[in-house]
Amino acid sequence: MGRKKEKFVPIKRGEVKLYSCGPTVYDFPHIGNLRAYVFVDLLKRVLEYNKLRVKHVMNITDVGHLTSDADTGEDKMEKGARREGKTVWEIAEFYTKDFFDAMDKLNIEKPKTICKATDHIKEMIDMIKQIEKNGFAYKTSDGIYFDTFKLKDYGKLAGLYIEGLKEGARVEPNLEKRNPTDFALWKISPKDQKRQMEWNSPWNIGFPGWHIECSAMSIKYLGEKFDIHTGGVDHVPVHHTNEIAQSQGALKKDVVNYWLHNEHVLVDNKKMSKSLQNFYTLHDIENKNFNPLAFRYLLLTSHYRSKFNFTWESLEAAQKSLNTLREHMILLKSTDNKKTDKKRILEYKKKFLGFINDDLNIPYAVSLTWKLIREESKINNSDKHKIIMDFDKIFGLKLKDVKDVKSKIPKEAEKLINEREEARKKRDWKKADEIRKKLKEMNILIEDTESGVKWRLI
């Protein structure tokens, strides 16, 4: 809200209440959507790393999200059902499962509480009734709308000044709306159309507006005042602005202490669009034989508040970096006789904590990890391994699952290893390096130790 970095102080000491805007489950999430959930996962990991207990709530939007911010157009769930010849309930179930499959593949920890919009219609109706009672709502032929001009500071999150807005400046015209920024709390079902998802209400049969679900469910599970609300930057001007208005309209106070938003993902420096054929999902990444964790690693290299440009070349580089990191984790398991300077360990841990606590400066934390790996003195392999495993509590790259696999190697590889040893004895370092590269292409990693050469499959 303040457009600046502020010290985070939880409402209740030692505890954080966190609400994240979840997916609308009518289609596969694209890589821009997924960035939002990796960001929230990093935020939660950082809070927990700081010994804070996190109560995390996330919604599943399975009704009410229309194709237009003007509260017009088709419900995205109905659109998905028509596209695939299924019921909206089948669509919701299928894409909810797919979403959580993607979460698992990206090693995103599930929220403690996951709440579906369709399971909380009563709570939404009760909140709308309270907003109406407080004088912030009015009825039109197609629904109940929030009167934004009755809220003096409407639009404060987005920096909107609604007095200067003309009809259609932010949304499409609606002749029955009092103001251009007014939005639907409840939509009345058209008389000539039978919806698959609709409910009785004090105003008529219909369905909730998109924004009301997050206000009703966040308050139900986190109370009338909670710490952090997250979402994509695209939520700022409409969805989160309207959430704030609803909460003020119902409770006459602000509910959220801190708002955090991740920036957009671009593809080849262009906005993602199906018409440009640059609209990618995690399935596209896997179909090109990339590990989903390579995409997670790639996201770690960019600050959450910076626009992120995705290219297949950058993903390939991230895959190589992840593989190299895993190789180092195998090599660092081997013992050496080097003594560790304990002060140096503390320096690394202090720098790491400083980076992640500085508005989640994860890219600097990643760079620090590579610096640690390259350090040739003062810290032995075993201690490096322990430190990086601790760092991975934030990164979430599953480094603990990297296994030191030994197996029989082809005779050709065995011959190359012997040739390399001969080259090293003759101090033919050029030939030794060339053989090392050949072995790496065969997925064999060579390590020179005091007790002789060692190899591992990678």
CATH of the domain at 113: 3.40.50.620
* Residue 166: per-residue pLDDT: 44
Q: How far is CA 328 from the centre of its chain?
A: 27
Longest CA span, the chain: 90
* Domain end among 262, 282, 312: 262
Measured distance between the N- and C-terminal CA atoms of the chain, rounded to whole angstroms:
47
Q: Give me the amino acid identity at 89.
A: W
- Is the same domain home to 203 and 64? yes
Pairing of strands 15-20, 53-60: parallel
- Is the same domain home to 64 and 187? yes
Mean pLDDT of the chain: 90
Region 147-165: mean pLDDT is 79
- Is the same domain home to 237 and 344? no
CA–CA separation, 431 vs 186, rounded Å?
74
Q: Is residue 7 part of a domain?
A: no
Q: Which domain holds residue 220?
A: 15-262
Q: What is 361-387 written as a DSSP string?
A: -HHHHHHHHHHHHH--SSS-HHHHHHH
Burial class for 419, CB neighbours closer than 10 Å (0-12, 13-18, 19+): middle
Q: At what angle do helices 381-395 and 342-356 cross, to 10 degrees?
A: 10
Contact 220, 123 (CB under 8 A): yes
- Is the same domain home to 317 and 442? no
Secondary structure (H, E, C), 21-82: CCCECCCCCEHHHHHHHHHHHHHHHHHHHCCCEEEEEEEEECCCCECCCCCCCCEHHHHHHH
Instruction: Give yes or no for residue 115 having a pLDDT over 90.
Output: yes
- Is the same domain home to 62 and 151? yes
CA–CA separation, 349 vs 387, rounded Å?
8
* Residue 337: per-residue pLDDT: 72
Region 306-331: mean pLDDT is 92
- Is the same domain home to 110 and 149? yes
CA–CA separation, 296 vs 160, rounded Å?
34
- Is the same domain home to 355 and 419? no
Q: Is residue 267 part of a domain?
A: no
* Residue 408: per-residue pLDDT: 57
Region 306-333: mean pLDDT is 92
* Domain end among 355, 374, 401: 401
Highest mean predicted confidence (pLDDT) among 54-58, 70-74, 169-173, 201-205: 54-58
- Is the same domain home to 30 and 66? yes
Paired tokens of 54 = 């996190």
Region 434-442: mean pLDDT is 86
Instruction: Give yes or no for residue 30 having a pLDDT over 80.
Output: yes
* Residue 169: per-residue pLDDT: 46
Q: What percentage of residues in the chain have a pLDDT greater than 90?
A: 66
User: Comparing 270 with 16, which gets the higher pLDDT?
Assistant: 16
* Domain end among 202, 231, 262: 262
Highest mean predicted confidence (pLDDT) among 228-232, 289-293, 378-382, 449-453: 228-232
Q: Is residue 10 part of a domain?
A: no
25 — pLDDT class (breaks 50, 70, 90):
very high
Contact 46, 356 (CB under 8 A): yes
Whole-Å CA distances, 242 to 51, 155, 238, 245, 354? 33, 8, 6, 5, 35
CA–CA separation, 422 vs 30, rounded Å?
52
Q: What are the two backbone dihedrals, phi and then psi, of residue 73, each rounded to the nearest 5 degrees?
A: 90, -175
Question: 120 by DSSP, 3-state: which?
Answer: coil
298's CB contacts (< 8 A; 6+ apart) are: 310, 314, 315, 318
* Residue 348: per-residue pLDDT: 96
Question: 445 by DSSP, 3-state: which?
Answer: strand
* Residue 68: per-residue pLDDT: 77
Q: How far is CA 146 from the centre of its chain?
A: 30
- Is the same domain home to 362 and 425? no
Region 382-386: mean pLDDT is 92
What's the CATH number where 277 sits?
1.20.120
Q: Is residue 4 part of a domain?
A: no
183 — pLDDT class (breaks 50, 70, 90):
very high
Instruction: Give yes or no for residue 434 having a pLDDT over 80.
Output: yes
User: Comparing 458 with 361, which gets the higher pLDDT?
Assistant: 361
- Is the same domain home to 145 and 165? yes
* Residue 442: per-residue pLDDT: 80
Q: Is residue 184 part of a domain?
A: yes
Instruction: Give yes or no for residue 275 having a pLDDT over 80.
Output: no
Give the global pTM: 0.85
CA–CA separation, 71 vs 64, rounded Å?
9
Q: Is residue 215 part of a domain?
A: yes
> Edge-to-edge strands of the sheet including 206-208?
137-140, 143-146, 183-188, 206-208
Region 416-432: mean pLDDT is 90
For the segment 55-96, what is each residue's pLDDT rounded down to a tens digit?
A: 999 999 999 888 777 777 788 998 899 899 999 999 999 999
- Is the same domain home to 149 and 278? no
CA–CA separation, 361 vs 354, rounded Å?
9
Q: Is residue 211 part of a domain?
A: yes
Pairing of strands 265-267, 270-271: antiparallel
Instruction: Give yes or no for residue 407 having a pLDDT over 80.
Output: no
Whole-Å CA distances, 427 to 211, 279, 376, 420, 438? 70, 52, 22, 10, 18
* Residue 168: per-residue pLDDT: 41
Question: 174 by DSSP, 3-state: which?
Answer: coil
Contact 389, 401 (CB under 8 A): no
- Is the same domain home to 297 and 318? yes
Paired tokens of 294 = 């390579």
Report the domain count for the chain: 3
Q: Is residue 1 part of a domain?
A: no
Region 173-189: mean pLDDT is 88
Q: How far is CA 378 from the centre of its chain?
A: 37
For the segment 217-238, what is each residue's pLDDT rounded down to a tens digit?
A: 999 999 999 999 999 999 999 9
